[in-house]
Every structure is written in C-alpha cells, then in structure tokens.
C-alpha cells in the first residue's frame, strides 16, 4: 500500500455534531475519552488536520501525557507524532501553536494559493511544505509523500471536509467515533463529514468491529471500512 494506515477519530454529539453552530471548538469528549485520544496520538506516527480546523482552532496536536511521551522516546521515537496540515491557503501566523508547540516535526500540504512570502515564512519556522499546482491538495499524493517520509500510521482529527474527502477517495481504513450524551442541534453546526455528499447508492459501507460503553453515558463505536 503506497500510503499509511489511516484512521479517523472523532467526538460527536448524539445528533452527530462535532461542534456548535458557533464553531469555537466546543468540548465534547469525556475525561476518559480524552485519555483514549491521547493514547491514540501516542501510538500514531503522525496526526493530520484540514484547513478549517488548522486555521480556526490552531490545535497543538501533541501528546499530553508525560508518561506516554516518555514511552515514545523509549521506543526510539520523538516525544510527539509528526503534525500534518492540509490547507488550501496556509495563512498560519507566527504565534501558531500548530507550528511551535511540541517539539514535533511539522509537514504542511498546500496549494499555489499560498503566497511565496508565506511559504518562505513557514519554511523559516522549520515546517516541511509541499505545494500542489491544483486548486486543492491532491490527497492520494499527499498520503504517498507521508509514506515516503516514514509515516506508517496516520491519525486524522478532522475537520468534516477532510474526513469526507478521505472517505470518498477510499483512503481510510478505520473510523472511531465517541458519541457523547448531549445534543447541540443547529442546521449550520458541523457534522463528522461534510463535502458535497453522496447519493444513497454510493454510500460508504462500514463494518462495526468494537463497541465500548463509557461511565458518563457516552459510547465509543469503532468501524472498519469495507472494501
């Protein structure tokens, strides 16, 4: 396979929302689920986010647990996985947590819509930047490049558009969804996947491989993509 093993992890409400209509990165995961996510990050070679998540939320994408970071180092790895951003126009500022919280290697896939000055800035901050001549980043090519860089396990943490495109292109192996016992509502509130959508006949089939009940009333569902 000329790409890493790709798994999407998401926390969403019982009505399928991954944030409120305000889109401010609302907390959804329980404390125990946050620990699970931290373990997943610690096990992954890299963590990827899309443009809106990157620019609006500026995630650190680091392993929070000191013990988990130490375990990575003991295995001969860096304390944190590689951070990967997929963004059409990479207008990332100098104080970005994504760029500087870590330590961690940073890889950015962007397009010609990012100015030459901004590309130079990102590279001056230590990021590896790959520029696509197309209007949007070619995801199969990006994943192939990650494989070349030694990334064998890639965790995807959203957002909805990136999730959809990866799924639509058949580039995902597993999906883990923590369903929190709450309702957000809101027609404009983001869901786990967005994009252009699919007709019923083109629906992406999933195979349920694990169910886990949490004490807070939440449920973890783990799916395998059926080929």
Tell me: the pLDDT tens digits for 149-161? 999 999 999 889 9
Domain with residue 39: its CATH number is 3.40.430.10
> At 106, is the pLDDT very low, low, confident or very high (cuts 50, 70, 90)?
very high
- Give 3's DSSP letter: S
Q: What are phi and psi of 50, to 5 degrees?
A: -90, 180
**What is this structure's pTM?**
0.95
144 Cβ contact partners less than 8 Å away, ≥ 6 residues apart: 2, 3
Distance CA 182, CA 20 (A): 11
Residue (of 119, 47, 58) closest to 90 by Cα position: 119
21 Cβ contact partners less than 8 Å away, ≥ 6 residues apart: 184, 186, 187, 188, 189
Q: What integer is the mean pLDDT of 201-225?
A: 95
Yes or no: say if 182 and 16 are a contact pair by the CB < 8 Å rule: no
Distance CA 95, CA 172 (A): 32
Range of the domain at 45: 5-225
Residue (of 56, 59, 75, 13) closest to 155 by Cα position: 59
pLDDT in tens, 28-78: 999 999 999 999 999 999 999 999 999 989 999 999 999 999 999 999 999
Structurally, how many domains does the chain consist of? 1
Yes or no: say if 220 and 212 are a contact pair by the CB < 8 Å rule: yes
Q: What is the pLDDT of residue 55?
A: 93
Yes or no: say if 91 and 114 are a contact pair by the CB < 8 Å rule: yes
Distance CA 32, CA 159 (A): 22
Residue (of 184, 146, 195, 183) closest to 6 by Cα position: 146
Q: What are the CA-CA distances from residue 200 to residues 92, 93, 206, 207 (Å)?
A: 38, 41, 14, 17
146 token code pair:
């990650």
């Amino acid at each position: 396979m000329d790409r890493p093993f790709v798994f999407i992890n998401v926390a969403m409400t019982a009505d399928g929302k991954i944030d409120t209509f305000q889109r401010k990165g609302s907390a959804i995961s329980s404390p125990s689920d946050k620990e699970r996510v931290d373990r997943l990050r610690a096990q992954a070679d890299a963590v990827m986010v899309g443009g809106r998540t990157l620019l609006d939320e500026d995630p650190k994408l680091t392993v929070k647990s000191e013990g988990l970071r130490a375990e990575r180092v003991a295995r001969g790895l860096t304390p944190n996985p590689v951070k990967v951003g997929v963004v059409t126009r990479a207008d990332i500022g100098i104080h970005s947590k994504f760029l500087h919280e870590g330590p961690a290697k940073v890889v950015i896939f962007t397009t010609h819509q990012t100015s030459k000055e901004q590309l130079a800035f990102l590279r001056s901050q230590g990021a590896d930047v790959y520029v696509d001549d197309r209007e949007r980043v070619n995801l199969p090519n990006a994943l192939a490049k990650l494989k070349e860089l030694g990334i064998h396990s890639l965790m995807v943490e959203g957002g909805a558009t990136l999730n959809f495109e990866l799924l639509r292109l058949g580039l995902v192996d597993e999906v883990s969804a923590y369903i929190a016992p709450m309702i957000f509502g809101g027609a404009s509130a983001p869901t786990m996947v967005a994009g252009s959508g699919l007709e019923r006949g083109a629906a992406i089939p999933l195979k349920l491989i694990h169910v886990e009940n949490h004490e807070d009333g939440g449920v973890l569902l783990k799916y395998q993509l059926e080929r």
